């Protein structure tokens, strides 16, 4: 099969690059703008190298007869791709500023040394999906509920022997509540943390429309209860659970973190401990009810969530939509949060993440970190890229800081000889900072 002409190849690249730099904001263009912008933005270094190589080959073949229009398109797309790379590099500073602002002055004193970005591995963005990592062992398809494969989870375990129980991160996949699997998202993050001593747990859950909401949040909570009960068998510390997820998984992670022990979401296991020590939602949906006033949230509610996920309408059952909205479930006791959202997200408007973080800061007594990433589309962390590698390291620094503070509080309780709940990390930090 013949490739498209040089001009057509670079016209397509120029259009994709323009879309990544300035994605359309109209609701009907969101999905198409996402797919083109996501791949172009995260693969900008590879695309730039391919464009330069393609132009060099074309010039060698055609000499003076090289297509001038094609050369112009190649030059324009190369400038755009360079700008996308520049925006990805800015993410490091944005994340560091967010961590300093949210965690306070003592963040620097407890901060671990940066792990260098593996630039040489940028040529293999899917490397994390290989099982050839000697530092990580994966146990797949462990049952936590009786829903077949939808009730299973994977465990990412460090291969090195630990002297202490490992902290635990639970990952909830996205996919608009209607698709997706536990082995498709956040794999680079989980492998990175597992290689550094964490245990990561990736869960499946039942999907809509076959299983309407709240089946999804019930399964997330059932998985959390399973982890509390069984993670010690794999070397994990059942006292310390962090929770993360992206998109629909970000919604479910945030909602689960804000509703520990809610009997409506724990039928038959109401007494199980489903609390978490902190939550890190990525590009989540925080407003099912349209309470933010965002037109994009109202359209998502009426055109997608109502018919496909909840099997109801806002006018018929507003309470169900409100109960499912993390934005409306925030209390002073909300756990510590690190909220991450892309500024160029066309699937879930960045204003949802911004408003959610603002509301957390208004109501919660605990720590809130918010990072809004320039140039980032939806799902920017699925595979290895400049941006995702910086985000992974920022999440590691947040979790390392958080777990260290939690351990210090736990040790203080132990030294006092009392059997009481460990104080919230964020509350302790805020008091120290003031």
Helices (H) and strands (E) in the chain, counts: 13, 8
* Contact indicator for 118, 177 with CB cutoff of 8 Å: no
Which entry of 345, 381, 402, 403 is annotated as an active-site residue?
Answer: 345
- Non-local (6+) Cβ contacts of 160 within 8 A are 135, 197
Question: Which 3 state secondary structure label does DSSP give 225?
Answer: helix
Please say if 345 is a catalytic residue: yes
Distance separating alpha carbons of residues 290 and 255, to the nearest angstrom = 16
Radius of gyration of the chain, Cα coordinates, nearest whole angstrom = 23
Which entry of 77, 247, 292, 344 is annotated as an active-site residue?
Answer: 247
- Non-local (6+) Cβ contacts of 363 within 8 A are 330, 331, 332, 334
Q: Which two tokens stand for residue 126?
A: 């899917």
Q: Which two tokens stand for residue 206?
A: 């039942």
CA 138, 143, 147: angle at the middle one, nearest 5? 135
Distance separating alpha carbons of residues 260 and 7, to the nearest angstrom = 57
Q: Which two tokens stand for residue 177?
A: 């509540």
Which entry of 192, 378, 402, 403 is annotated as an active-site residue?
Answer: 378
Question: Which 3 state secondary structure label does DSSP give 231?
Answer: helix
Q: Which two tokens stand for residue 157?
A: 């375990």
Distance separating alpha carbons of residues 393 and 113, to the nearest angstrom = 10
DSSP code for 201: E
For the annotated catalytic residues, the residue numbers are: 247, 345, 378
């Amino acid at each position: 099969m013949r490739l498209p002409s040089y001009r057509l190849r670079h016209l397509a690249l120029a259009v994709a690059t323009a879309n990544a730099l300035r994605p359309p904001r109209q609701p009907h263009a969101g999905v198409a703008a996402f797919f083109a912008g996501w791949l172009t933005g995260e693969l900008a270094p590879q695309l730039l190298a391919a464009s330069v190589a393609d132009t060099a080959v074309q010039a060698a073949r055609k000499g003076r007869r090289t297509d001038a229009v094609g050369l112009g398109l190649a030059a324009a797309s190369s400038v755009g791709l360079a700008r996308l790379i520049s925006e990805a590099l800015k993410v490091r500073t944005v994340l560091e500023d967010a961590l300093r602002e949210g965690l306070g002055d003592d963040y620097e004193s407890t901060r671990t040394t940066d792990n260098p970005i593996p630039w040489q591995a940028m040529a293999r963005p899917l490397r994390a999906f290989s099982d050839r990592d000697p530092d990580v062992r994966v146990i797949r398809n462990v049952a936590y509920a009786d829903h077949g494969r939808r009730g299973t989870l994977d465990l990412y375990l460090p291969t090195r022997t630990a002297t202490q129980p490992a902290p635990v991160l639970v990952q909830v996949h996205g996919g608009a509540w209607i698709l997706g699997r536990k082995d498709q998202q956040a794999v680079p993050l989980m492998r990175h943390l597992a290689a550094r001593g964490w245990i990561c747990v990736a869960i499946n859950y039942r999907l809509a429309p076959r299983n309407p909401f709240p089946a999804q949040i019930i399964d997330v909570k059932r998985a959390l209860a399973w982890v509390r009960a069984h993670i010690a068998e794999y070397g994990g510390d059942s006292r310390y659970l962090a929770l993360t997820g992206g998109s629909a998984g970000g919604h479910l992670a945030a909602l689960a973190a804000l509703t520990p022990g809610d009997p409506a979401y724990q039928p038959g296991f109401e007494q199980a401990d489903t609390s978490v020590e902190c939550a890190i939602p990525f590009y989540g949906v925080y407003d099912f009810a349209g309470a933010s006033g965002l037109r994009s949230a109202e359209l998502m509610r009426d055109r997608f969530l109502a018919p496909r996920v909840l099997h109801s309408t806002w006018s018929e059952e507003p309470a169900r939509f409100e109960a499912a909205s993390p934005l409306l479930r925030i209390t002073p006791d909300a756990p510590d949060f690190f909220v991450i959202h892309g500024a160029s997200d066309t699937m879930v408007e960045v204003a949802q993440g911004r408003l959610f973080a603002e509301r957390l800061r208004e109501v919660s007594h605990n720590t809130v970190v918010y990072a809004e990433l320039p140039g980032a589309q939806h799902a920017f962390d699925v595979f290895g890229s400049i941006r995702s590698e910086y985000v992974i390291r920022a999440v590691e620094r947040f979790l390392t800081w958080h777990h260290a503070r939690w351990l210090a509080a736990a040790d203080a309780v132990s030294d006092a000889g009392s059997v009481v709940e460990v104080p919230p990390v964020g509350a302790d930090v805020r008091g120290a900072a003031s």
